Amino acid sequence: MQENDGTTPNEAKVDETQPVVNPQSSPESTVHIVPKPLIATPAAPIASTSHNSPGLLVLQWLTYAFWGWTVLALAWLTVMSINYFIDTSAGSGYLDGMIAYSLAAVIVLFVISLVCDIFYARQEPEHKTGAAMVIMIIHTVIFALFGIGSLIVAVFAIVRMLIGDSAYGDNSGPLSTLISFIIVAVVYGMTLIRTLNPKWFKRAALVYWVFMIVVVVIVTALGIVGPAAQARFTRDDRLISDNLGQVSAAINDYANSQTALPKSLNDIKGDLKGDAKLLLTKNLVDYKPLGMSDDISKVTTPATDTTTDQPRLYTFEYDLCVTYKAESDYYSTYTTPTSGQRDTSPSTYAHKKGKVCYELATRYQSSSF
């Protein structure tokens, strides 16, 4: 006899994992399985740090920084190139030593910036957070300030033209400044947009790359055909200006030691070094020895005591002639030497275009009365 566990047959427990068979069905009836209900458990959120990984942050910083340096070098080259073609009142000699550096800086920095940006754009997050956001904000502020500064300079140039602040009514200087800094302001504006990379600007990185390629190619071409070509054309002029004084000093030393002028520049060539010696090697100087004179009044430098109880003073007179391909930036201050007066060293600070002869002399003090 089975014990009654307190439950009725209708209340018997059913194992939900076991097949339920209809007792009134035939053995061939289909067996139905009633599964247990599944309850979905929400997964714990996993914090993603891939957007702020150290490598990506370094690449982001380098990309923004290199673009900043590129734009700064480009602004430098733009000002020099535009100034060369527009501002005819300004000399170009000061560009000779800087144009090579600016061209090299623009080319090298642009290539590095573009390569860094290509790698960064592949991993750049659409929404920057944390350190990436801080890096973006820092460079955005810097680019915005430089862009606004460029606009201020451009507006200042407009004001100068309106009020006639230029010398002799020549507006070429302010016009050159206006064009240069408008270009610079636009470049900084595009760099600012690239840094922000807003959603509404589709493919901002690609557009910026194309824009910078066009600007860099145009400005670099202007720099090469303008100030760079001029610097190459006048390189012998600079060689003469920088080293003719050493040639004169070597002649003076020879005259004082040998009590005679050198017969030719070959006599002093061994005493010269570097570019001064190159000046003679390229035959850029014509030397004309004129002999000795006791008329020391011809020398512009004041003489010492010339009384009869002092050693007699003589002068060795000679000419150095050179040919300049272009006039110097300070040609307005150039003065033709007074006829009959001689300097002790050539003044190459200001010179005209063409052949220029320097009338020079060196004193010789005799050892006898």
Q: Are residues 182 and 291 both part of a single domain?
A: no
The CA angle 118-119-125, to the nearest 5 degrees, is 100
Longest dimension (CA), the chain: 165
Q: Are residues 270 and 300 both part of a single domain?
A: yes
Q: Are residues 246 and 322 both part of a single domain?
A: yes
48 within domain boundaries:
no
Please return the burial class of 275, using the count of CB atoms within 10 Å of its CB with bins 0-12, 13-18 and 19+: middle
93 within domain boundaries:
yes
- Residue ranges in the chain assigned as alpha helix (H): 54-86, 99-123, 131-163, 172-196, 204-223, 229-233, 235-258, 266-269, 274-281
* pLDDT on residue 324: 94
Domain range holding 324?
236-365
Residue at a domain's end among 213, 233, 253: 233
pTM comes to 0.72
282 within domain boundaries:
yes
Q: Are residues 257 and 209 both part of a single domain?
A: no
- pLDDT, averaged per 10 consecutive residues of the chain (369 residues), comes to 48 48 49 52 47 90 97 96 79 66 96 97 91 96 97 94 70 91 97 94 93 98 92 90 92 89 91 91 92 64 48 79 86 59 84 90 65
Q: Are residues 321 and 348 both part of a single domain?
A: yes
User: What CA–CA distances, in Å, run from 110 to 83, 124, 246, 356?
Assistant: 22, 20, 41, 44
* pLDDT on residue 297: 55
Quote the number of domains for the chain: 2
305 within domain boundaries:
yes
35 within domain boundaries:
no
150 within domain boundaries:
yes
* pLDDT on residue 347: 87
Residue at a domain's end among 206, 233, 260: 233
Which residues lie closer than 8 Å to 164 by C-beta, 6 or more apart? none
